[in-house]
Amino acid sequence: MADAIDFYFDFSSPYGYFASTRIDALAAKYGRSIDWHPLALGVIFKATGSAPLTTLPMKGDYSIHDIERTARFHGIDYRLPPTFPIATQIASRGMLWVQATHGDAQAIAFAQAIFRALFVDGIHVGEPENVARIATAVGLDAAALIDAAGSDAIKAQFKDSISAAMARGVFGSPFIIVDGESFWGFDRFDQIEALLKNGTI
Amino acid sequence: MADAIDFYFDFSSPYGYFASTRIDALAAKYGRSIDWHPLALGVIFKATGSAPLTTLPMKGDYSIHDIERTARFHGIDYRLPPTFPIATQIASRGMLWVQATHGDAQAIAFAQAIFRALFVDGIHVGEPENVARIATAVGLDAAALIDAAGSDAIKAQFKDSISAAMARGVFGSPFIIVDGESFWGFDRFDQIEALLKNGTI
């Protein structure tokens, strides 16, 4: 089987959420699997001198509109969260714990539930009690997940994972690497599909 | 006839060049005309705290690769210019003079020749002698164009035109406004076409 596709995202990224709703089906169509990698864009932005898209002058107002329009255009459920952007490290570190203890399928189910809670139901997934509720809903041990998400071991693992991503050139969300080829943005799915289909781009 | 589509671009923007190669055919398909508006992104970036894409940390290297790949994907002639990015105000102000004195068709022919010189033939179109040569090649009075491009009147007109664009929310290139709806980026052409086709998006 061909190598897995690397899918990097921040739970607070709307375009990352859009990608999360489509990437598994796209990969499955071409017999590929996906490795999901949560990021903390705040850490990366400190290194690159960037800032959350929706907070940038002019670009911010445009992007809020573009995100809603893009969701409609692609038929994806979406509502601007009442508090946005938010820090989502607890969910990200919780996901690493689920990957290590329960495997990828449950980790992806948890990630999809976090994305949906934030971008469809408007739940503040930066709050541990909300992350715990979502964990319970997808059949995980919420107390164990929250404990692990606050542990030094998982914090170190998350930091290393972000450094490793940056060493591969990852600077935004969604960021997808297929066979060494890097793609930034939900609007590169057409090019990703061409590469998966033709083996070259 | 429906209102013209506003097409904003900087001559030094590769994605703006890509848009320039496709926008007339797209508009014609739906019986629309295009108003071409050259910008100086440097002026806008001063206001928004941004910088040319290819000069940004991490994003710069990615974008140089993405630009080449996007050109290939869409079948557009492209080569990274040897000197890049460059200031292209002489060509922009020259275009305003062509619009005023010769009309839109000749101004667009001049603009397309400038884009092609820069992004296909690698000519430094920031140099007045190169702009003059291109003007001559498309049948314009090169000396008159260069004179006008350096005149206070055209400089003031260009400044006002950029201010008017910013007042409409324009912050990048390409930036396209159709019936009050704003689109940033060559990768929004699918959404622009949907709006032109359906009257809504």
For residues B49-74, give the mean pLDDT.
94
Percent of chain B with pLDDT over 90: 95
User: Which residues on chain A place their C-beta less than 8 Å from a C-beta of chain B?
Assistant: 47-50, 56-59, 61-62, 65-66, 69-70, 72-73, 166, 169, 171-172, 182-185, 187-188, 190-191, 194, 201
Substitution target in A56, A62, A190, A192 with the highest count of B β-carbons within 10 Å is A62
Look at residue B84 and tell me whether its pLDDT is greater than 90: yes
pLDDT of residue B31: 96
For residues B65-77, give the mean pLDDT.
98
pLDDT of residue B22: 98
Look at residue A70 and tell me whether its pLDDT is greater than 90: yes
Alpha-carbon distances of A163 from A120, A176, A199, rounded to whole Å: 30, 16, 29
For A135-153, how does the pLDDT look when each residue is reduced to its tens digit (9 = 90+)? 999 999 999 999 999 999 9
For residues A154-167, give the mean pLDDT.
98
* Chain A / chain B CB contacts < 8 angstroms: 73
Tell me the average pLDDT of chain A. 97
Give A144→chain B minimum CA distance, Å.
37
CB contact under 8 A, A62 and B184: yes
pLDDT of residue A1: 59
ipTM of the predicted structure?
A: 0.95
For B102-153, how does the pLDDT look when each residue is reduced to its tens digit (9 = 90+)? 999 999 999 999 999 999 999 999 999 999 999 999 999 999 999 999 999 9
Give A201→chain B minimum CA distance, Å.
7
**Which residues of chain B have a CB within 8 Å of the CB of A187?**
185, 187-188
Look at residue B1 and tell me whether its pLDDT is greater than 80: no
Top pLDDT among B72 and A47 is at B72
Q: How confident is the model at residue B76 (pLDDT cuts 50, 70, 90)?
A: very high
pLDDT of residue B114: 98
Q: How confident is the model at residue A2 (pLDDT cuts 50, 70, 90)?
A: confident
Substitution target in B46, B58, B173 with the highest count of A β-carbons within 10 Å is B58
Look at residue A37 and tell me whether its pLDDT is greater than 70: yes
Q: Residue B31 is encoded by which pair of tokens?
A: 């019986």
What pTM was computed for the model? 0.96
Q: Rounded distance, CA A126 to CA A131, Å?
A: 7
**Which residues of chain A have a CB within 8 Å of the CB of B188?**
66, 187
**Which residues of chain A have a CB within 8 Å of the CB of B194?**
73
**Which residues of chain A have a CB within 8 Å of the CB of B72?**
201
CB contact under 8 A, B194 and A73: yes
User: A89: Cβ–Cβ under 8 A, 6 or more apart, which residues?
Assistant: A40, A149, A158
Contact B172, B185 (CB under 8 A): yes
Q: What is the DSSP string of chain B?
A: -PPPEEEEE-TT-HHHHHHHHHHHHHHHHTT--EEEEE--HHHHHHHHT---GGGSTTHHHHHHHHHHHHHHHHT------SS-S---HHHHHHHHHHHHHH-HHHHHHHHHHHHHHHHTS---TTSHHHHHHHHHHTT--HHHHHHHHTSHHHHHHHHHHHHHHHHTT--SSSEEEETTEEEESGGGHHHHHHHHHHS--
CB contact under 8 A, A188 and B190: no
